[in-house]
Amino acid sequence: MAKSQSVPRNSWMRGIVSVFLCLIAIVSFTVLVPSLASARTYTAMIIDADTGKTLHEYRPDHKVYPASLTKIMTLYMVFDALERGKISLSTRMKVSKRAWGQAPSKLGLKPGETISVKDAILALVTKSANDVAVVVAEHLGGTEIKFAQMMTTEARRIGMSRTTFRNASGLPNRGQMTTARDMITMAVALRKNYGKYYHYFATQKFRFGNRTYGNHNNLLASYYGTDGIKTGYINASGFNLVASVNRNGKRLIGVVFGGRTARTRDAQMKKILDQAYVKLIKEGEIIVPRPRISPEDKILPADAQLLIAKRNSLREAEQPGRIDTQTIVTRMKPENTAGWGIQVGAFSDQRRAQEAVLAAARTAPDVLRLTRAAVEQQTNGTGIVYRARLLGFDGENEARAACAALRRENLACIPVNAGDAG
């Protein structure tokens, strides 16, 4: 009887020991091989693109995961192939099963379909489509592995000494590493060597099939002078951004890695760019023009790339905490206002209307990045009223959804028929 009872007890003990040993192995593996997520690190750098002067840096040579910033090099290789005549913008590239099977973000291309080089460029810039990145890699390199080797070779050639590419998309791979300094080097080389294609990075909308995709780079619509270039995210890297900004003839290129959210990443990039411009103004390298107001036209474009500039005098530059923001309005002819929009306020003061538009754009960039901001001047019985609006929604339902998003952030908003003069 005792013997029959000892067998299950021994089995039970052996089971406990096995579980204990497994736990020890798991803990040891975790200590020795840290997860990708633990590698997330903040790094940043700002340079004067004309002189190469460093205006801000924080751990610029610390290795990090590039995420979808990888696609900047993928596009660099596309532009090189275009220049060499290996492909044209109309060249059709075939979708493989491997490309089809990539993780999102992607266009959802099916095996056997084709996509033109031009559409591929726009899909990489705006949607950051991983399936398209593989299509490009296989077309230019035969395989994605071979293409990644080509990318790394080119990276070394242009001075990216601490960067290694393992794929064309930026999807997680422990061996795919870069630095903030190397990303700056790549952005500078791209503009220098393939400047004729750089305008693609300013694309805010891309229509493919029955869908319209917006650019993930929110600075294009919320930070004056931004004309590129790309965002990136994987869990291991956090939210990343390479940005190119041109104000008053002075171009800065900035890199931020390791943002907790897209919003905090964007805010940090704006902060260090502002500080860099203040520094250049203080040193006399930028002469800021006086504000000019041209209220004659009915519609004054109010998106940040045309409208808003930080006007900092030398006196204000010496006191960064007291910078005054002035409005520069570029005169333009009225645009077609048909369709639906939203109104975020009506003011007797033009500047307050412009500030309301920008506040809305910054509060809900994902919802509003496909819209065109406008300040409309209207004369009524009591004088001039400036209506702050964002136009370009496909229909009333989209406009109402945008208002709902703004109201959740305690901003006033009403949907409007953009052609309505009332």
Decide if 96 is catalytic: no
Give the type of residue at 67: A
Decide if 313 is catalytic: no
Strands 340-347 and 326-327: unpaired
The dihedral of CA 132, 133, 136, 142: what is its sign?
A: negative
Dist CA 372 CA 304 (whole Å): 10
What are the residues whose beta carbons fall under 8 Å from the beta carbon of 146, sequence distance 6 or more? Answer: none
For 414: left if phi > 0, alpha if psi spans -120 to 50, otherwise beta; the answer is: beta
Catalytic residue chosen out of the listed positions 96, 106, 127, 128: 128
Which of 141, 137, 179 has its CA nearest to residue 160?
179
Catalytic residue chosen out of the listed positions 68, 169, 222, 244: 68
Helices (H), 68-179: 70-83, 97-100, 117-125, 130-141, 144-157
Decide if 11 is catalytic: no
The three-class DSSP label of residue 55 is: strand
CA 413 to each of CA 39, 217, 390, 402, 407: distance values in angstroms, whole numbers, following the listed order: 41, 24, 10, 9, 7
Task: Give bridge partners of residue 254 from the DSSP assignment.
Answer: 46, 243
Asked whether the beta carbons of 257 and 42 are under 8 A apart, the reply is: yes
The percent of the chain in helix, strand and coil, each rounded to the nearest 5, is: 40, 25, 35
Asked whether the beta carbons of 106 and 129 are under 8 A apart, the reply is: yes
> Which element (helix H / strand E) includes 244?
strand 238-247
Dist CA 145 CA 134 (whole Å): 10
The secondary structure of residue 364, as a DSSP letter, is: S
What are the residues whose beta carbons fall under 8 Å from the beta carbon of 387, sequence distance 6 or more? Answer: 343, 345, 346, 353, 375, 376, 378
The secondary structure of residue 177, as a DSSP letter, is: B
Asked whether the beta carbons of 99 and 136 are under 8 A apart, the reply is: no
Asked whether the beta carbons of 250 and 276 are under 8 A apart, the reply is: no
Residues catalogued as catalytic? 68, 71, 128
